[in-house]
A and B are shown apart, each in its own frame.
Chain A
């Protein structure tokens, strides 16, 4: 329960490292995503700047900084500038709470920036405040498309936040702590949490995808309907800041899913502090890009119905089951069997689901 504390200068240094690391990761994620999407779609992707396109992010950065920065006439000037900054700041804040190794593995200091007893609540608070960046951008632009985009995104973010929160209650009940280090250590001793709470893991992964506004859920910026969504009126570096916010949310989500459900930095064999965490993050980043390449965008009402009508009840039922097991003092292995059963149900559902029927007979 008690973890060693670092001197302040080390904490400041680590915070700086996390920010620089995230910004670099953002720059190269744009390249990796474009290259991977190109590969999925059997084309080449950006490959002209530097060896196999490696310097493309630098070129993009220079371009977006030196482009003309427009502020539309109808915009609320202060909020128009403030909105991307709010978005980026709250996106950057979340990552510091994630542990990357056992205590003392960062040159004798701790491999995390923040160690809060209420770590999960902190993550929630930060991710809720991050909504305001999108919301204010849409309103301050003074444009219909932007406003519609921001209304859509905040409605979907609020609905998925509920499923997300309740999905997390089951592991919290099992571990008995909101501290991320405690959660990882519990998984080291008792086995990874997705074995105990497979439905919660599934709901959390889907809701995290929606929170990061990735493709099946990227309605706030549906090009065919809304021009560019909440950042329609933004150009040059402010637009780049929104891209940055989105990618940082994406990276944070891919780091949180393994931390909460897949054992974090631990591994049953070959314990190396940083390696497994980075591998798990890379796996989820790849998985989400894969989903983006193959999936279609949901319609708005389908999105909300899925959030409220499926994810929310599933998370709630699993929470009740976990609560029963914990409250009645039943052996935890019941949960293992139940979540294996739920996995089988999911597989059977996928296997026996009817093929999509094309209505109207059109091509």
Chain B
């Protein structure tokens, strides 16, 4: 492992730990941005340039901005977030994290990365035919999965009564305003 690789690993782990441990949600989101930037740099260093830039644009740019939106609009950025929604869930979380790590490691075990295609440093000209040719079905499946998740999220927050239906006391106020 070269010194630069070690430094990148250190940054990745350090910012990752900060994301989980920082008390203020906004600071945690900033640490997440730093983490994504280091990861993007790592991708570029590994000659996956397109992936690196997409990592910055989609994750560090758009998605974390959405996170910050939610944090600000819910006023969740106070020093202490208040209560613990799942009591005594820390051991369970540890178990879950170890389990995920185990699954990922077992996937890496015996994985041989042999490049049969020349990706030209991960340029879109080389990636495009692969993504929309050989792996089209996989791409469509991932897209379908994301869409299903969106539809489910919208269905879950469907209000039980229509948003424009007013409660009786509100209806009275409405009339006064109209007059």
Q: Which residues of A pack against B, CB within 8 Å?
A: 76, 79, 117-118, 121-122, 124-125, 128-129, 131-132, 135-136, 139, 147, 151, 154-155, 158, 161, 176-178
Contacts and interface: CB of A to CB of B under 8 A. Distances in A.
Contact of A121 (B26, B30, B50, B68): B50
Interface of B: 26, 30, 33, 49-50, 53-54, 56-57, 60-62, 65, 68-69, 72-73, 77, 121, 123-125
B47 to A, nearest CB: 12
Given A117-B123, A139-B77, 13 more contacts: A79-B30, A118-B123, A121-B50, A121-B53, A121-B54, A125-B53, A125-B57, A128-B61, A132-B65, A139-B72, A151-B73, A154-B65, A154-B69
Contact of B125 (A135, A154, A158, A177): A177
Nearest to A117: B123
B56 A125 contact: yes
Given A132-B33, A139-B77, A121 B69 contact: no
B68 A176 contact: no
14 contacts: A117-B121, A118-B49, A121-B50, A124-B53, A125-B53, A128-B60, A129-B60, A132-B33, A135-B65, A139-B26, A139-B77, A155-B69, A161-B62, A178-B124
A135 B60 CA distance: 14
A125 B62 CA distance: 10
A36 to B, nearest CB: 34
Contacts of A117: 49, 121, 123
Nearest to A138: B72
Contact of A122 (B53, B62, B125): B53
Contacts of A139: 26, 68, 72, 77
B50 A128 contact: no
Q: Which 8 A-B pairs have the closest CB atoms?
A: A128-B61, A121-B53, A125-B56, A125-B57, A124-B57, A118-B53, A125-B53, A118-B49
B125 A176 contact: yes
Contacts of A161: 62
Contacts of A177: 125
Contacts of A147: 72
Contacts of A122: 53
A53 B76 CA distance: 49
Nearest to B33: A132
A129 B61 contact: yes
B56 A151 contact: no
B27 to A, nearest CB: 8
Contacts of A135: 65, 68
Contact of B61 (A76, A131, A136, A176): A131
Interface of A is mostly: helix
Nearest to B122: A118
Contacts of B77: 139
A128 B72 contact: no
A234 B112 CA distance: 55
A238 B68 CA distance: 23
B26 A125 contact: no
Contacts of A76: 26
Contacts of A154: 65, 68-69
A125 B73 CA distance: 25
A327 to B, nearest CB: 11
A232 to B, nearest CB: 16
A155 B77 CA distance: 19
Contacts of A121: 50, 53-54, 57
B56 A129 contact: yes
A122 B124 CA distance: 13
Nearest to A155: B69
Name, among B30, B61, B68, B69, the residue most crowded by chain A CB atoms within 10 Å (CB to CB): B61
A131 B69 CA distance: 12
B25 to A, nearest CB: 11
A278 to B, nearest CB: 29
Q: A76, A118, A129 — which one has the most chain B CB atoms within 10 A of its CB?
A: A118
Name, among A128, A147, A178, the residue most crowded by chain B CB atoms within 10 Å (CB to CB): A128
Nearest to A78: B27
A151 B57 contact: no
Contacts of A129: 56, 60-61
Contacts of A131: 61, 65
Nearest to A131: B65
Contacts of B61: 124-125, 128-129, 131
B125 A118 contact: no
A159 to B, nearest CB: 11
A114 B148 CA distance: 41
